Structure formats: C-alpha cells, structure tokens
Amino acid sequence: MDIQQIRTQLPLGAVKEIVKRSGINYATVQRFFRGEETKENLNLMQVTAQYLKEYKEAKASAIMELQAVASV
C-alpha cells in the first residue's frame, strides 16, 4: 500500500478532517501521508480508510442524484 497514492484520492480539506477525527497532531498526520513511519500509523490507516469510504459513497450517491435530475 502506498499511502501517498491514497492521499491523491482524498479531496481538499481531507487531511484536516482526518486530524479532527483521529485527534492526532497535524504534523504527525502530514508525516504519515508523506510515507514516514509514525507510532500512530495503524490508527491513521483506520481513520483514513473510514473517511475515504464515506467520501466515495457520498460522491457516488451525489453523482447518481445529479444524473437523475439532469436526465429529466
């Protein structure tokens, strides 16, 4: 798993939201996303996975809704 590649899938503001959800210092989260090893890696992986899952589901739902409205 390449965390830097995963970061490219995150929307703007996602890192700040991950900081808020995890309660981990912003600098530590930044180091994590640069690929550095931190003691919080496991926690950050879990929080990032949950955030990305929620984001992708919401985006897919919004796209479907937009397509439904646009095709009427």
Q: Can you give the pLDDT at residue 11?
A: 95
Q: Where are the domains of the chain?
A: 3-70
Helical (H) or strand (E) element with 35: none
pLDDT digits (tens, 9 = 90+) for 14-70: 999 999 999 999 999 999 999 999 999 999 999 999 999 999 999 999 999 999 999
pTM (predicted TM-score): 0.87
- The angle at the Cα of 38, spanning 10 to 24, to the nearest 5 degrees, equals 60
What is the predicted pLDDT for the residue at 61?
97
Position 64, amino acid: M
- Cα(36)–Cα(6) distance, integer angstroms: 14
